[in-house]
């Protein structure tokens, strides 16, 4: 029953996210305070619902609820507790849920910090952040339900992929996710600046800080990943030019260039179109 509730929480989060997108955009266009506040409240509600869903899946992993397909496929009784905890991001469905959780936390941080300060930008920022959350919630609800049940209760699970049973598994993916998801923030502010026609330096000052933070996380994640790859001999040493490495390195290069170009815009007022 509790796992059905987990799925219902995701459905409710999806509905509220769509509601928040609409109220944020319409409220921003009409400067309607009640609609804008409704959009902000939707962010808090989505974060709470996604957080509760993640807690339920963590509970299933830590207590060996093998009737849940995700737990059966990525955990086992003999698996150490910290690997069971990290198994949340050890598979596709859990990773998407964890990604959505981080995105929701970032969204709450933005609303809490800036809702009264940048009144022209924040309704659109909110809508973009919720639109991104909606994409992942659609996947969780319709494609890769993390709470899908087997119909039977297996005696044990299949266990976590052996290559993932490394202490770097506990922290390396988290650093990368914080980096990837954090890059949604400058994107949201850039779109908000275009939609609100506030193309001055106001959004640039905010974005520079919020680009540097995920850039640091992404840098740390790449360094940790290279150490992990060196320890797992089958991965070919510290670095190999394959999709696994490039998936993190190319966003890092882009963010590095963006940090430099946005600093130029802030100081000299050029590269507006580029940024």
pLDDT, residue 97, reads 98
Q: Residue 272: what pLDDT?
A: 66
Pair (78, 195) in one structural domain: no
Of 128, 160, 192, at which residue does a domain stop? 160
Query: Are 156 and 187 part of one and the same domain?
Result: no
pLDDT for res 205: 83
Q: Are residues 125 and 190 in the same domain?
A: no
Q: Are residues 143 and 42 in the same domain?
A: yes
Write the Ramachandran bin of 159: left for phi over 0, alpha for psi from -120 to 50, otherwise beta: left
Query: Are residues 130 and 31 located together in one domain of the fold?
Result: yes
Whether residue 214 is found in the same domain as residue 130: no
pTM: 0.92
> Do residues 214 and 181 lie in contact, with contact meaning Cβ atoms separated by under 8 Å?
yes
Could you tell me the mean pLDDT of each successive run of 10 residues in the chain, 275 residues long?
93 98 96 95 98 97 95 92 93 96 97 90 96 98 95 86 80 93 94 86 84 94 82 62 73 89 74 64
If asked whether residues 13 and 113 sit together in one domain, one would say yes
pLDDT at residue number 54:
98
- Alpha helices, H only, 63-80: 69-74
4's CB contacts (< 8 A; 6+ apart) are 147
Range of 275's domain? 166-275
Within this chain, do residues 58 and 83 fall inside the same structural domain, yes or no? yes
CB 193 within 8 A of CB 199: yes
pLDDT of res. 47: 98
Angle, in degrees to the nearest 10, between helices 168-182 and 202-231: 160
According to DSSP, the residues that pair with 149 across neighbouring strands are: 68
Same-domain pairing of 31 and 102: yes
Q: Looking at the structure, do residues 5 and 104 belong to the same domain, yes or no?
A: yes
Q: At which of 95, 125, 160 does a domain end? A: 160
How many domains does the chain divide into?
2
The SS3 of residue 87 is: helix
Instruction: For 168-213, give the DSSP string.
Output: HHHHHHHHHHHHHHHTHHHHHHHHHHHHHT--SSHHHHHHHHHHHH
Measured distance CA(38)–CA(33) in Å, rounded: 9
Of 160, 194, 209, which residue sits at a domain end?
Answer: 160
Which strand (E) or helix (H) includes residue 275?
Answer: none
My answer on whether 134 and 174 are in the same domain is no
Instruction: Say whether both 204 and 154 belong to one domain.
Output: no
Q: How far is CA 252 from CA 172, 188, 224, in A?
A: 15, 18, 14
Between CA 107 and CA 103 the distance in angstroms is: 6
């Amino acid at each position: 029953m509790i796992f059905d509730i987990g799925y219902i929480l995701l459905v409710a989060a999806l509905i509220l996210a769509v509601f928040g997108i609409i109220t944020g955009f319409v409220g921003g266009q009409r400067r309607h305070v009640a609609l804008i506040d409704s959009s902000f409240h939707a962010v808090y509600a989505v974060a709470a619902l996604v957080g509760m869903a993640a807690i339920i899946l963590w509970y299933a992993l830590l207590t060996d609820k093998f009737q849940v397909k995700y737990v059966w496929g990525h955990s086992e009784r003999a698996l150490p507790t910290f690997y069971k905890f990290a198994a949340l991001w050890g598979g596709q469905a859990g990773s998407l849920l964890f990604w959505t959780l981080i995105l929701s936390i970032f969204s709450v941080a933005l609303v809490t910090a800036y809702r009264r300060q940048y009144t022209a930008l924040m309704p659109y920022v909110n809508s973009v952040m919720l639109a991104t959350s909606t994409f992942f919630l659609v996947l969780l609800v319709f494609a890769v339900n993390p709470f899908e049940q087997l119909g039977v209760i297996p005696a044990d699970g299949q266990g976590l992929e052996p290559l993932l049973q490394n202490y770097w598994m506990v922290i390396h993916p988290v650093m990368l996710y914080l980096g990837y998801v954090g890059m949604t923030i400058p994107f949201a502010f850039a779109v908000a600046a275009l939609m609100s026609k506030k193309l001055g330096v106001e959004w640039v000052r905010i974005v520079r800080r919020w680009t540097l933070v995920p850039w640091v996380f992404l840098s740390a994640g790449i360094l940790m990943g290279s150490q992990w790859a060196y320890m797992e001999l089958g991965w070919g040493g510290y670095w190999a030019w394959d999709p696994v490495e490039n998936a993190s390195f190319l966003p890092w290069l882009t963010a590095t260039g963006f940090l430099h170009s946005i600093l130029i815009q802030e100081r000299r007022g050029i590269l507006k179109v580029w940024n």
